[in-house]
């Protein structure tokens, strides 16, 4: 990034923070080396940077307008409600992950993990999301002993 582009970013940040209208002309007025708005609008990088900051300012003003229409107490109550909802959703996510892991372990313990994997084979994106959440175990799965084998072991214990 060139020095005047770095300076332009600093100006845009300041304008955003102080809620000054972000325009090419306003930036050119504040910039030490870019003296014309066309120096910004005709340069693809600078024009894109200007558009990004204008979009951020529009979004910021929209959110500020929403909060500004509420009293301080109402805004605080709404924020507290949203924070509570986030905590609840995070808790639910953890619960779902834990139950999903338990289900996978149970299926794997019964020797059916390959069937589960076949079912999800066509849902690769789902498997990848589950893996990213830590909801798929990478434990080694071993088959449960057959009933005949379990009966022999029980008989040995009685002797």
Whole-prediction pTM value?
0.43
Phi-psi region of 88 (alpha: psi -120 to 50; beta: other; left: phi over 0): alpha
What residues contact 144, with CB distance under 8 A and at least 6 apart? 109, 110, 111
Residue 138's pLDDT band (boundaries 50, 70, 90)?
low
Count other C-beta atoms under 10 Å from residue 37's C-beta.
Answer: 16
Mean pLDDT throughout 79-100?
Answer: 88
Quick one: what percent of the chain has pLDDT higher than 90? 31
DSSP string, 74-112: HHHHHHHHHHHHHHHHHHHHHHHHHHHHHHHHHHHHTT-
Beta strand extents in the chain (DSSP E only): none
Q: Is the pLDDT of residue 42 over 90?
A: yes
Q: Is the pLDDT of residue 4 over 60?
A: yes
CA 11 – CA 29 distance, rounded (Å): 10
| Six-digit token string for 106 | 């149970």
Mean pLDDT throughout 98-119?
Answer: 73
Q: Which residue has tokens 């709404």? A: 78
């Amino acid at each position: 990034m060139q020095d005047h582009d770095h300076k332009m970013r600093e100006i845009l940040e300041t304008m955003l923070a102080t809620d000054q209208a972000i325009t090419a002309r306003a930036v050119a007025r504040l910039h030490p080396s870019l003296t014309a708005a066309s120096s910004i609008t005709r340069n693809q990088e600078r024009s894109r940077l200007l558009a990004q900051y204008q979009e951020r300012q529009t979004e910021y003003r929209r959110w500020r307008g929403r909060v500004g229409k509420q009293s301080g107490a109402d805004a605080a109550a709404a924020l507290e409600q949203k924070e509570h909802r986030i905590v609840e959703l995070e808790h639910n996510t953890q619960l779902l992950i834990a139950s999903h892991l338990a289900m996978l372990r149970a299926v794997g313990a019964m020797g059916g993990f390959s069937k589960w994997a076949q079912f999800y084979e066509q849902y690769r994106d789902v498997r990848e999301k589950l893996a990213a959440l830590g909801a798929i175990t990478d434990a080694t799965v071993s088959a449960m002993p057959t009933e005949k084998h379990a009966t022999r072991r029980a008989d040995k214990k009685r002797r």
